[in-house]
Structures are given as C-alpha cells and as structure tokens.
A and B are shown apart, each in its own frame.
Chain A
Amino acid sequence: MSEAINKSRASKFKQQKLPARQPILKPRSVIPTMLVLGIFFIVMGVIFVLSVDSVIEVSKRYDDKCEIGSNCTITFEPPSDMESPVYFYYELTNFYQNHRRYVKSRDDTQLGGEILSYEDAEELCDPIISLDGEEKDSMVYQPCGLIVWSQFNDTLTVKNGDEVLDFNENGIAWESDIESKFQNPDPKPDPDSPTTLQSDFTEEHFVIWMRVAALPTFRKLYAVLENGKLEQGKQYSVNIENNYPVSSFDGQKSLIFTTTTWVGGKNTFLGYAYISLGSILFLIGLGFLLKHLIKPRELGKEKYLKWE
C-alpha cells in the first residue's frame, strides 16, 4: 500500500524536483547585452529623429486673433512642400476632457441609437440631462451629457486664395465608431428641437469629439488633404467661424497642419529618449566592462564566502 502511495507521490512536481535552469546575472551575459542594447537604442533613436525631421508641421494659434461669434481668417505659409496626406487639426489647451466629471457624463447606449429614459439619463449624463431640468423621458437631451453639450463648434475652411482646398472631413473618425458604436436613433432627432444637441450621431467631428483626450492639451483631427499638396511659399488661409469660447477657462485654440511619417507626426520625445537611454546603457555597460577588466571577481570561488 505504501509503495502505491509513494509511486503516486513520486512525481517531480510533488517532490519539487522539476528540471530547471537557474539563470544568473554574470558579466559575460550582462555586459555584452548592455553594450549591444545601448547601440541598438542609439541607432533606433537616430533613425527615429531623422524620420521625424522630415515631418513638416505648421501651427497657428487663433483664439487671440478672433472675436467669439465672428468670422475671421488666419493665413499660414508652409516652410516647405507638404505632400498629401496633410492632416488638419484643431488644438485646445487647458481643456480637461479627461476630467472625471466630464468623462463620465455620457451614455454609450444612447449614442448607439437607443432612446434613453429620464432615470438612466439622470444617472449617466449628469449635469446635462434634460431640457429645463424636466423629469420627462421626452425632454431628455439627444444625446445627453457634458461631452455632447460642450462640443467644439468652430467651422474651419482651408483656402488657397478663394479656392477652397479639397480637405476631406469624412473618413477621419474611427471606422468602428461610425459603423457600430455611434448609431442614429429611430426616428432621427429633429434638428430644430431644443432637446437635440446633435442631430446626426454619426457625424464625424462629433464622433471624434466624443473620443475624449487623455491629456488636457489635445489635438483633434478636423480634415485631411488626401490629394495634392501644400506648396512652400504659398499663402494659405483658414476661414474660421469662431464660436467656441476658450478664454473663460484660460484655454487656447490653434490650427495645425502636419504631414506624417511611419511613426506619426513630429514626435520629438521618443527619438531623444531612445538616444539618451542608449547612451546611458552603453556607458554603464562600458563602466561594468572596465570594472570587470580592471578588478574582476572570479566566479565560483570560496574566498568570497564569509561565514558568520
């Protein structure tokens, strides 16, 4: 009987005898890894910086140049040719889209096309719930919530002289958002009703606005120039219908035109971070190497064992 017990116990797991490797950090593996990794990071960083260098970005602040409620024009001149696609953004600063009160104030099922009852809206959309605070289902804002209510509503048109450039405002939001996350309710909200905050739930500027930004300074895509280019030296103008007030919260509004490369836009941080990290790794690796060459410690010698 005991033999049977022992047999069942004799598994390597139960006897804690599983075959294993015991990696240790030894100079032979650590120093080369550090040096190689250091070089790799420097190279990566340099490639990164070089490719980012080719990105052309034009940024123009306009909130200080325009009166709220007025139409105005901002001109800009690309420093060099900007090949398509050229992305056109608006940027807001000091705008806390990630504030808890703001982020939570929306209802995804309503945005997905369902008619919301007052009770649900009250819970999810506080403080923008219903027109005049009436507790009726029919008075619930469509859609409700702070994000919808505070939607960016400047209209921006890019012109070359009088010619309106072919900046496409469609196809800028996530496909998935337009296809399944955002759906118009049935019936479609009446654009003239005071409860309607957004008459078309799949309107792409709206959809982009609903994807809250993670940081208080953010850019949101406004349009894309898919064909043609912005030429160096030419004067381009942006016609702005300036509706969105930012001065009350010390915010700024800007326009940005940028080209992209394989890593996106003018990403300065990542490249320099890679170069610095690579250099640090390399230097430390070198330091370890020197220490190891000058005053090495033999492995596996008892003389280092000090017993109490």
Chain B
Amino acid sequence: MRRKKKETLRRVFANNSESNDRYINNKVTNSKYHWWSFLPINLWEQFGRFMNQYFLIIATLQLWTEIAPVDPKTIWGPLSFIFLLSAIKSGLDDLNRHRVDKKANERIFHVIRDCEPRDVMSKNIRVGDIIYLKENMESPCDLVLLSSSNKDGSCYIQTANLDGETDLKTRVALKGTRVLNSQGLLSQFKGLIECKPPNPEIYLFDSRLKMETNDTDEDFLSLSVKQTIFQGVHLKNTKFIYGLSVYTGNETKLGMNKLPPESKWTKIDRQINNMTIVIFCIQFLLVLSLGALGSLWKSKEGKKKFYLYYPRDEEWYQFLIIPLRFLLLISLMIPISVKVTLDICKSLYALFINWDLKMWDYDNNIGAYANNTSISEDLGQIEYIFSDKTGTLTENIMEFKKCSIAGISYGNKHKHSSALKDPRLCKAIKNQQPEVILFFLNLALNNTIVPIKIKNKDRIAVNSSFSQEDSRYDDISVVENSKKIDIAIDYDSNDDSDDDVNVGSDEDEILLKLDHSGETKKKDKNLDSLNEHQVKNESGKQKKIIYKASSPDEEALVKAASTMGIEFVERETKTLTLIFNLHDAKSGRNKIKRQYELIKTLNFTSDRKRMSVLIKEIGTQEIYLFIKGADDEIFKRLDPQTDEALLEKTKNDVENFARKGLRTLLFGYRAVTGKELKRFLKEYKTANNEIEGRERELEKIFHKFEQNFHLLGATAIEDKLQDQVPETIRILREAGIKIWMLTGDKYSTSLQISKACNLIPHNGIVYKIEGGEQIAVEKCIKAIFQKIAVNQQNYYLFIGGKTLEIALNSLKSKLIKLCINANSVICCRTTPQQKSKVVKMIKDLKKMTLAIGDGGNDVTMIQTAHIGVGIVGKEGLQAVRASDYSISRFKFLLRLMLVHGRYSYYRTAFIVQYSFYKAIFFCVIQIIYNFWSGFSGISFFNSMSVMTYNGIFTAFPIFFYLHDKDVSEELIYLNPQLYLDSSKGRFFNKKTLFWWFVRAVYQGAITMLFLAFIFKDRDYLYAMDGSGADQALISMTGFTAVLLLQTFTLALETKHWTLYNHLIIWGFLIFYYLSSLLANSLPNFEMYYAMFRTFSDPIHWLACLLINVVAQLPVIIAKYWSSQYTPTRADLIREKEVYYRSNGLPINIAHKSKKKNLIYSKIIPSYNSSDFGNNGIFDPIRDCFGKRDFKRMNKKDPLTRLIKDNIENELLKKHNELHSITQTNSKNSSFNHLKIVETDDDYYFLSGNSQSMFSTSSTSSSFQDNEMMI
C-alpha cells in the first residue's frame, strides 16, 4: 500500500520482513462492496445506465405535484422495485464473494518470517515469508519453490484454478535451495530474489535468485516458471514444500488475471437501444408540440375561462409546466419494465438450455451449459461459424495406426489395419532391428507423459476417496488436509511392501494418485477403456499404468511403444525408466529394466513444431538426442548425407498417411558426444541467466543443436470424426450459415477432414491461396478472381497461416471479397492469433459470428466472436471457461442454434416489440384525450390504472410467451431454412417495428375516439338512474376496453397454446375483473363504486365489444391475408403440421425441392448402415435430439411418432434403393464407408506446451529446464 512510485524491479529478501515492507499483504478481495459502501456504490452503478437515469429524472419530476399527471407512487413503486431487485441480486452475489474471501483469507498457514516460525492467517502473509505447504493445500500466494519433501526438490502441482488444465505438472527447486528442507535451515536462509513487478503472465517468470544477500561476488541463479507455485495452485502427491512468497494479495498472477469479463450486448440489445433513442426523440417532439399547443390554448382560451382562475401574473417557470406535464404523461412510452422482463426471460432461456436433455451427453453425463445467460437471442442470428478441427469436429481420441520405419511402411495392407498388428513389424522387433528399437525408444522417451502405477487395490481406495476429495472450486481446511495426508502415507507404505518392480533408486517412490478433478470424476467409468494399460509383470500380478498426458497424441505414441514391448513405466525428475519386454532368441520373453538420464527436454511449441529430448542411457553412458516433429521441420534438420532413397520413401509414406487423413509425425535421432554436450550446456546456462530476451537466445542455441539427425521414420495417428458431424454441418448449411474451419493443421489433412465432414463436397472446386510474399499472394488472388468470373460456380477456399497473415495485412479488402463469396473457407496452419483475426475480419463486416472450439488455442477466437462455444473436451477447460456456452459434442450446436437460438430470438423479438407497443398504445390514448381537455396534460386513466397496466396486467401475461413456438422443434430440424427467419432478423426489424408502431397508434386512436363518441353529451346517460358521463366512469370503461384489447392482442400473437397460456392470459383478465370489483368496494379508491355502475351498464359492454372488434379487425384481416396468400415459410410449415395432424395424416414435412429430394437423402450414400445407431437408419429425431429422451418422448407424443415413423419409412425406402445400387456397382463402394481420420500438427504434446500457445507473445517460457547444472 505504501508504494510511492511505479515498481521497476521487485527485490524480495527472505527472513527480512523490514525490507519487504512496501509490498501489500496477502488479503484477497473479490468483493465489490463493504456494508457501508454498498448503497452508494450500487446506486452509482445502477445510475450509470442511460435508461435508469432517464427513469430517475422522470420519477423526480413526478414529485412536483404541479406537473405530475398521476400519483407519484405509480412510477416510484415500480422503479424502486426494479432497483431493489437488481440491488438485492448484486448484494447477494457480493455476500457470497465476501464469504469466499473470508474463508480464503482466514486459512492458517505455517510460515517462517524473520527467522521465526509462526502460524499466520492467509491475509497476513507478506512478501518474503517462507511458506510451508502440505499435500492438497492450495497456495495462498505466488511462491518460489525452495525445497520439497523429495530430495530432488521436485513436487507435483495441479493448476486447474489458473488455466483449467487438470493434469499434474512438475515443479523443481533449484539445486542450491533444495537442501533447505527443514525449518531450522530455512530460518537461516538469507536469499534474495529479483523479479519483475506484478504482471498477469502466467507462463512467464523471469527472475533470479541469490543465495546470500551479503555476498556480492556470488552469481545470480536464474529462476523460471519451473520453480513457481502460483496462488490457487494445489500441491499434489508431495508431502510438503517450502516456498518463498514473491507476489501477494491481488498482485498475484491469479489476482492480475481476475479481470471482470466484458459484458456482451446482443444484436437485439443494440436494436432496443437504438429504438429507445428514436422513441426518446419522438417523445421530445411530442412534448414540444403538445407543450406549445397547451400554452397556446392557455393564453387564447384558458385565460378566458373564469372557472380555471388563471392569475394575471405568473411565475417565470409557468411556461415550462405544460411541456413538463406532457413529458411525464408520455414518459411511459419507454417501458420501464422491459429491462426486467427481458432479464427474467433471458435467464429462463439459459435455464432451458441447461435443462435440455436433448443436449445431454449420456456417454459422459454432461449437459449443455450457458455461462452467459444474457445472449441467447444471438444464437438465433448467427451467419458465420468458425470451427476448430481437432476435438471439435473430431473426437480427439488418438489411435496409433501406421508407421514407416527406415523406409518400410507398416500397416499399409489396407485402410484400417494397424501397424501394431503388422507381422512384419513384430518380426522386426523380435529380431531387434536397431532402427526399429531406436524408433520405439524415441516414441517412449520423447514426451512429457507421467506414467502412474495403480494397483487394483489402490484403485478402489482412490476411487472411494473421490467423494471426499476436494473439487477444484472448494477450499480446503487444514484439518481436512491432515486427514488426506494420512491416507496418502498409507498408500505409500502399502506400496513399498508389495512393489515388485525394483526401482533401484534411493529416492522415495512417488506414487501418483489419480488427479481428482471434476472431469476425471465424471469420466472415471471410462478410465479403464481409455487410459489404462495393463501390464503383467514377472510375478504375474496385475498392475496398471495410467498415462497422464496433456496431449492424446503423446499418449497414443507411448501406448504404441508399450504394445511393441518398450514400456515406459516411471518418470522421475531426471530419470526415465523403461521396461524392455522383447523376445529374446534364447530365453523367449525377457524383461529388462533400463534407465535413462533425462539431461534436457527441448519442449514443443507451436513455433518450433518439434520437440527433442537429450538422453543418457545409464549404464552404457551413450548420449542421444531424440527428435520428433512436423515433417518440414524434421526434413530440414536431417543429416545431409541421408540416403536419398530412404528420404524419398519416407516422404512418400508421410504423404500417403496424410492423404488418408492421418496425423503424421517424423522421428529422428543423433548421438551426441560428451564435448558437444558440455558446450551446449554451457551456452544454455549463459542464455538461461538472461532476464531479457532469454527466449530468443535459447531458441538460437536449440536451433544450432538440433541438426544432423538420422531419420528414423514416421508415425500416423488417427483422429476420428465425432458422430453426426457431417449431418450437422449439412443442416447448418441449409440453415444459411457459413461454416469455416480454422485449424493449425496442414493442408492435406485439413482437406481430408473437410471433405469427410461435408464442409467441401467431393466434387467441389477448391482454390488455394498461396504465396509467401505480398506480390505472389496478390497474383494468386487475382488468378482466382479470374477463374471465378469464368466458372461462376460455388467454390471453396483454402488459406495457409502465412499467406493469411500477408493477405490480412495488405490485401484485406480483396481477401474479404473472395472469402465471403466462397461457400466455405478453410484456414490451415493458423496460430490462435490468426484465428481470432479471421473472426474479427468477418465480425467487422457486421456479420454475426460464432466460434466453437475445445482447446486453449481456440480461446482468443472464442472471445473474439459474438458467441463463443466451448466443447468440453480432452484439452482442459480453458475453452469452456472462456466460452458463452459449453456443450459436449459438436452435434449439439445444431440444437443450440436452431432450436434454442431461434426460439429465444423469436420470443425476445415479440416481448420487446410488444412491450413498446403496449406502452405507445397507452400513451396515444393519453395524448388524444388531451385534445378534449385543453392540452392541459391530464391523464385519462387514474393512478391505479396506470400502475396496474404497466406493473401487472400487461407485465405478467407475456411471461408465458417465453414458452411460445411458431413451429415445433422437429420441424425446424426438418426445415433448417427456418433458421433464416431469425438470422435475417425477420421477427424484429424496422419493418416489423413500423407495423407495431402503426398498430399502437391505430388502436390507441380507435379506443379513445370511440370512447369519446360513445360517451359524448347527447349519447350517454346511465339507464338505471339517468346520471351523465363522468370522468371516472369513462376512464374505467376505457381501461377495461384497453385490457381486453391487450389480452386479445396477446391471444392473437400466441401461436402455441398450452394450458398455462390459457391460465395466464384469461386468468389475468378474470383477475382484473375481480380486483376491480374489490377496489370498487373500498371507499379510499378513486373508482369507489364506479365499477359496479360500469359493469351494470350495457353501454359499457357494447362499447368494449365495439372498440375491440374495430381495433383488432385490420390486424386480423392482415394476418389472415398474409398467412393465406403471402405466407412465410414458418406459416406454411405450421399450417401443414396443423392440417395434417387434424386430419390424422402422417406428416411429411421435410420439404422437397427440385434439386434435392429428401434433405437426408444425400447423407445416406456416404454412410454405412453401421454408422446410424442400432437399426441402421439415420434418424434425425433420435440422433439430433438425444437418444433416451426420444424413447420417452415417443411414447407420449403422437406427433413425434408420426414424424418419426414417416421419416423412417421414407429413409428405409431410400436406403434400400441405394443398397441395391451400391451392390450392383460394387467397384464404387469405396464411398460407402468413409473412415475419417486426421493428422494434425497443431498437437500439444507437452504439459508445458499447450500453455505456451496462449501467452500472447509467440515465444514461450517453457524452454527452461529443471536442471541448471550438471
């Protein structure tokens, strides 16, 4: 708090609290208000909005009785209710935050400060304290790891709170500090850490440490992310650690990243805003003109009327009074309730999404979830979808399929055969061919996977502890922690006793338990099939190894190696243990344990596109550098003397693999001499000690070192398409949505996948924009334009990342023109930043965009688009956290947009327009009445009516409109073009608004004019006692007519009548009659006794009937005529459904057009029957709407059954026809089963890597290795 100037370098002294005094303490505050500041801050926030300011001004003016048309309560009541409601909401939210903060702030931690151990509350922790953390505890602030319970100074952490990744990561203390693992030693520690001022970069921690503050000669040791434990991180599988706190409170990485999310405005919100401004202007003009008329009448006429008793001299402000009266009278034109109504409706839309069982993934038991509850309408307005490929269109479950070793391609017998079952490969392994062994050695060693040993017994124990285990979001108390540690120790001892593999290491064996994130919890059922690998060891006892991987590709590779007999069993900080389980010529099967020293890992990044490990075999002391990476990266790093034939062969194989849609990787190795190693390590150390520009220096050194490899071979991994992806894309496209694919993958695999998933038809014309320089790109674009001009056909575009960058920078307008005319655009080899640039390019054209992805590399794109959808995938939860909606499968996007989006838009459009309509209608009556009252600004209705009209009788009945549907869900699927209604904004645009406005003015005028004619001097007298027409009577008759009119308007606009609609619409009318009779019998009300008289007067009923019929007649005529003779698509489909249903006919509503028959007919030929569930038929209802629910639905809903039966029959027929065709053309059967596989080099193998994709600078900090010196 006492920081005077901006910090440039933070110097943290251990055990010297005085010198760290200027840094803030560790009090975490997420709350916005204190109890004393709640009211002012909250009110200030609420009055920041224009609408609220407007209402406040109006309400304040109401207090001036001279101008208030009605009782001020009528506006203060609803206004304060609205304010109270939102104040309560934010108050409760804040109370919750307070509670969480308090819990977090009052945790007790054991720290060492000024050489003294003590227990302090989390909020009192200071910079420079040495903190003791036990297993499963959450770090209270950003720490630099000094030592851990492990002698090598390592520990495991889970960073889910920080970046959403649930896998365990290792952190390693520096060699110098790792010995300080007791209180006594640490209280003598006088180190100094120099680091940057607080910053939000969670993958960057460039700083250095000095062991002794006083020793000026001593070198600084460099620190990196590898030594940090940030706030919010959980310590796992490590008994304890000591760490020095460097950033505290809200200056931690977590604190700096806690920016409030930018609130999104939907298109309708913006339209409402514009409309409000327009109405405000109309209001202003009305106020001016009516005010002028009023003043004119007053001076010309009013002064003559003795009964008005106008004084001769007036106060100066009198000229303002009439305009102000009108301002208040027609201020209701901007409906005060619309915001509240919309807020309630929108949260219900979000709940409908959360509740929807048809978006429930029964395999993983995850439903859809709306993180952002206020933008559902935008889901109905999407024109462009930007999709990621891996994990979004594909499953992201990797399977090792083929490989090519030393020029020999394995598993190439036919399309689906796996190399692992290729007898030639088995033979090669048996013969211990050196290249093959090295190849698999590379597979097994060159990764960041952590193998976890689990015995059956442990598994049960671990599983049972799930329920008590903390989930990510829970806070753990210290008491709970100690319990857990006990359990962990139990495991340890058990493990020691019956551990049959002799590890041969003095280090304590770290038994990794499963990580207990929410995700694993959900998926634990599937663990057996997914991650586990069974191994039989010598004693025949079963032992399982789970590979904890951050990338499924790596997992597939390690598993493949293990299947071939080279099993990766254990990772310690610098030792990797393999078990060779190979056939020996003499003794049959033979198990050999081999250990390798991991000298250095040169991590994967998206820029490097390669990864290598520097390995020393313990025993033989041979040093190897293994590399794997993208083909172009590896090919250019090969030994120039590599055999041309081998090179050619491998290149061919890789190309073949890619053509089959497989993800390819190349592998190489070289031996490293001791001298070379020494030089490399020295260079590495110098580079690593720099604070600025360390990344660049390191990259230079790596580049120099990673050369002259011997080619080992290539692997090909299959990534399956998610189910229903082609159908989903087809339907989305029929809905008029353009779908682009943005992937980091290479051209050939992207093309394969886009063909497989219907993005590009098999005979589609594909243009590729190429060129590494601006001129070339420009030329290419020009050429494409020429071709398009000649061909005049639909075309598809391919752009690579580099070309894209150039085109975006200098040829944007041309690129845009080319892209928006293309049927689809596929961008390959793109970085996350490029993805978001592409989205922004389209967004800037005022098109509504949606981005969908599953990985961290999609986060920027998801945040850029109008709507971000995250797929709950295997790559952590980053995308989901950044997204507005999360779903678990790509196919659910269809329902999210076509059903929820369209309905939300349809409903909101009505509710908004209706709210404005009824407000304007009411004001028109008030204005016209003033023509008969000398423009005096009188209100026709009494205060009670004004209040109840807005607050009750028109506010509540529309709520059930949010269950309204113009066509039923099934029919939207069958006729995806209906989506155009919402995406083109047909329910809410200038035209519809204009008609609503006309309707309001017409009906308001009719109501008032007819009332005036009916109740004019000669015409009216009350038949029972002859009394004349007084104001109370007319206004009550008028109000009844108005409410009837509104009720019938609502009834006319409701298209989907459920029981509740009836109840609420007619119920509120009955409620009106009852409540007005009640008010009628209370003498305090203005309308005391008036209602009895009104209701017993036949003129009242005749007037109401007349007014209603005259007011609604043109509306009904227009509606009838348009639905009959100029019907919209929705009208027709609705009509058809109703017609067929009422006649008991089967509903064949899927439209037929000249070009295509059934919309699904095209889907069938490219799919084998086995692709469509049990009965072998693609069933749009079952498959798009979820499985089990359909069964339930089917029983009860005859309509669904009808549709289903009908489509089934139709499809069965088609299907049989096609079968007969395919049987005759058996040669042509290749299209019958298209297996979709994918290669992708936007893989994120390494635990540190997927992180680096997101730090905004392209370089990453994950190069640092754990080992500084040898």
Q: Which residues from chain A sit less than 8 Å from chain B, CB to CB?
A: 2, 5-6, 9-10, 13-27, 30, 37, 41, 44, 48, 57, 85, 87, 89, 91, 93, 95-103, 123, 127-128, 146, 149-150, 171-177, 180-181, 208, 211-221, 224, 245, 248-250, 258, 260-270, 273-274, 277, 280-281, 284, 288, 291, 297, 299-300, 302, 304-305, 307-308
User: Contact string, B1056-1067, partner A, CB cutoff 8 A, digits 1/0?
Assistant: 111111000000
Give chain B residues whose Cβ lies under 8 Å from the Cβ of A87.
1021, 1026
Flag if B1026 contacts A172 (CB, 8 Å): yes
Bound Cα distance A5, B1019 (Å): 65
Q: Which 6 A-B residue pairings sit nearest by Cβ, starting from the closest?
A: A176-B1089, A100-B936, A150-B307, A87-B1026, A300-B1139, A300-B1136
Flag if A249 contacts B1110 (CB, 8 Å): no
Given contacts A95-B307, A174-B1093, A299-B1136, contact A267 B1099 (CB under 8 A): yes
Assess whether B1072 is interfacial by the CB under 8 Å rule. Answer: no
A-B contact pairs, 20 of them (CB 8 A): A14-B355, A17-B1197, A20-B1061, A25-B1120, A30-B1116, A95-B307, A96-B934, A99-B936, A100-B69, A176-B1089, A214-B1031, A215-B1017, A221-B1028, A262-B1023, A262-B1098, A264-B1023, A267-B1018, A269-B1014, A273-B1010, A273-B1014
Instruction: Please pick, from B325, B352, B1018, the residue contacting A57 in the complex, using a CB distance under 8 A.
Output: B1018
Flag if B1106 contacts A273 (CB, 8 Å): yes
Assess whether B386 is interfacial by the CB under 8 Å rule. Answer: no
Give chain A residues whose Cβ lies under 8 Å from the Cβ of B1028.
89, 213, 218-221
Instruction: Please pick, from A149, A221, A277, the residue contacting B1106 in the complex, using a CB distance under 8 A.
Output: A277
Bound Cα distance A26, B992 (Å): 22
Bound Cα distance A258, B1020 (Å): 11
Instruction: Please pick, from A16, A123, A208, A302, the residue contacting B1151 in the complex, using a CB distance under 8 A.
Output: A302
Which one of A13, A16, A97, A171 has the highest number of Cβ atoms from chain B below 10 Å of its Cβ? A16
Given contacts A27-B1124, A181-B1083, A248-B306, contact A214 B1109 (CB under 8 A): no
CB-nearest residue of chain A relative to B903?
A16
Assess whether B1123 is interfacial by the CB under 8 Å rule. Answer: yes
Give chain B residues whose Cβ lies under 8 Å from the Cβ of A212.
1030-1031
User: Contact string, B423-442, partner A, CB cutoff 8 A, digits 1/0?
Assistant: 00000000000000000000
Given contacts A96-B933, A214-B1030, A307-B977, contact A266 B307 (CB under 8 A): no
Flag if A180 contacts B1083 (CB, 8 Å): yes
Interface residues on B, range: 35 or more
Bound Cα distance A139, B302 (Å): 28
Q: Which of B826-834, B911-919, B1125-1133 contacts A (4 or more CB under 8 A)?
A: B1125-1133
Bound Cα distance A171, B1025 (Å): 9
Bound Cα distance A37, B1109 (Å): 10
Give chain B residues whose Cβ lies under 8 Å from the Cβ of A217.
1016-1017
Bound Cα distance A207, B588 (Å): 119
Flag if B1152 contacts A98 (CB, 8 Å): no
Bound Cα distance A270, B1025 (Å): 20
Bound Cα distance A33, B1151 (Å): 32
User: Contact string, B986-1025, partner A, CB cutoff 8 A, digits 1/0?
Assistant: 0000000000000000000000001011111111111101
Flag if B1124 contacts A99 (CB, 8 Å): no
Within 8 A of A (CB), among B343-389: 351-352, 355-358, 360, 365, 367
Give chain B residues whose Cβ lies under 8 Å from the Cβ of A123.
65
CB-nearest residue of chain B relative to A18?
B1058
CB-nearest residue of chain B relative to A92?
B1017
Q: Which residues from chain B sit less than 8 Å from chain A, CB to CB?
A: 65, 69, 301-302, 304-311, 325, 351-352, 355-358, 360, 365, 367, 736, 903, 932-934, 936-938, 963, 965, 969, 977, 980, 1010, 1012-1023, 1025-1035, 1055-1061, 1083, 1088-1089, 1093, 1097-1099, 1102-1103, 1106, 1109-1110, 1113, 1116-1117, 1119-1120, 1123-1125, 1127, 1129, 1131-1140, 1151-1153, 1189, 1192-1193, 1197
Distance in angstroms from B157 CB to nearest chain A CB is: 29
Bound Cα distance A10, B360 (Å): 12
In the complex, given contacts A2-B365, A215-B932, A249-B305, what are 10 additional A-B residue pairs having Cβ atoms less than 8 angstroms apart? A10-B1192, A30-B1116, A98-B936, A100-B937, A211-B1027, A217-B1016, A221-B1026, A260-B1026, A266-B1018, A273-B1014
Flag if A30 contacts B1120 (CB, 8 Å): yes
Given contacts A25-B1116, A218-B1029, contact A270 B1102 (CB under 8 A): yes
Bound Cα distance A6, B355 (Å): 8
Flag if B309 contacts A216 (CB, 8 Å): no
Bound Cα distance A267, B351 (Å): 55
Given contacts A307-B977, A308-B977, contact A215 B1193 (CB under 8 A): no
Give chain A residues whose Cβ lies under 8 Å from the Cβ of B1133.
305
Flag if A305 contacts B1129 (CB, 8 Å): yes
Which one of B358, B1023, B1123 has the highest number of Cβ atoms from chain A below 10 Å of its Cβ? B1023
Give chain B residues whose Cβ lies under 8 Å from the Cβ of A224.
1026
Flag if B1025 contacts A172 (CB, 8 Å): yes
Give chain B residues whose Cβ lies under 8 Å from the Cβ of A261.
1023
CB-nearest residue of chain A relative to B900?
A16
CB-nearest residue of chain A relative to B1022?
A264
Bound Cα distance A180, B356 (Å): 58
Bound Cα distance A93, B397 (Å): 88
Distance in angstroms from A221 CB to nearest chain B CB is: 5
Flag if A25 contacts B1018 (CB, 8 Å): no
Give chain A residues whose Cβ lies under 8 Å from the Cβ of B1197.
17
Give chain B residues whose Cβ lies under 8 Å from the Cβ of A44.
1102
Flag if B1139 contacts A299 (CB, 8 Å): yes
Flag if B355 contacts A213 (CB, 8 Å): no
Give chain B residues whose Cβ lies under 8 Å from the Cβ of A27.
1124
Given contacts A96-B308, A218-B1028, contact A24 B933 (CB under 8 A): no
Which one of B903, B1010, B1015, B1103 has the highest number of Cβ atoms from chain A below 10 Å of its Cβ? B1015
Give chain A residues whose Cβ lies under 8 Å from the Cβ of B1057.
20-23
Flag if A214 contacts B309 (CB, 8 Å): no
Bound Cα distance A133, B856 (Å): 80
CB-nearest residue of chain B relative to A59?
B1018
Flag if B1125 contacts A297 (CB, 8 Å): yes
Flag if A6 contacts B1088 (CB, 8 Å): no
Flag if A24 contacts B1102 (CB, 8 Å): no
Bound Cα distance A283, B190 (Å): 101
Given contacts A18-B1059, A211-B1032, A264-B1099, contact A274 B1106 (CB under 8 A): yes
Bound Cα distance A38, B1017 (Å): 28
Flag if A22 contacts B1026 (CB, 8 Å): no
Give chain A residues whose Cβ lies under 8 Å from the Cβ of B903.
16
Bound Cα distance A266, B1129 (Å): 51
Flag if B1135 contacts A299 (CB, 8 Å): yes
Give chain B residues whose Cβ lies under 8 Å from the Cβ of A85.
1026
Flag if B1123 contacts A25 (CB, 8 Å): yes
Distance in angstroms from A218 CB to nearest chain B CB is: 6
Give chain A residues whose Cβ lies under 8 Å from the Cβ of B1106.
270, 273-274, 277
Give chain A residues whose Cβ lies under 8 Å from the Cβ of B1102.
44, 48, 263, 270, 274
Flag if B1026 contacts A96 (CB, 8 Å): no
CB-nearest residue of chain B relative to A124?
B65
CB-nearest residue of chain B relative to A301?
B1136
Give chain B residues whose Cβ lies under 8 Å from the Cβ of A26.
1124, 1135
Give chain B residues whose Cβ lies under 8 Å from the Cβ of A57.
1018
Instruction: Please pick, from A20, A37, A171, the residue contacting B1058 in the complex, using a CB distance under 8 A.
Output: A20
Bound Cα distance A127, B311 (Å): 9
Flag if A10 contacts B1018 (CB, 8 Å): no
CB-nearest residue of chain B relative to A22?
B1138
Give chain B residues whose Cβ lies under 8 Å from the Cβ of A304.
1127, 1132
Flag if A270 contacts B1060 (CB, 8 Å): no
CB-nearest residue of chain B relative to A21?
B1057
Instruction: Please pick, from A24, A269, A307, the residue contacting B1019 in the complex, using a CB distance under 8 A.
Output: A269
Give chain B residues whose Cβ lies under 8 Å from the Cβ of A171.
1025
Bound Cα distance A76, B1134 (Å): 67
Flag if B1099 contacts A305 (CB, 8 Å): no
Give chain B residues whose Cβ lies under 8 Å from the Cβ of A221.
1025-1028
CB-nearest residue of chain B relative to A87?
B1026
Given contacts A22-B1138, A267-B1019, contact A15 B357 (CB under 8 A): yes
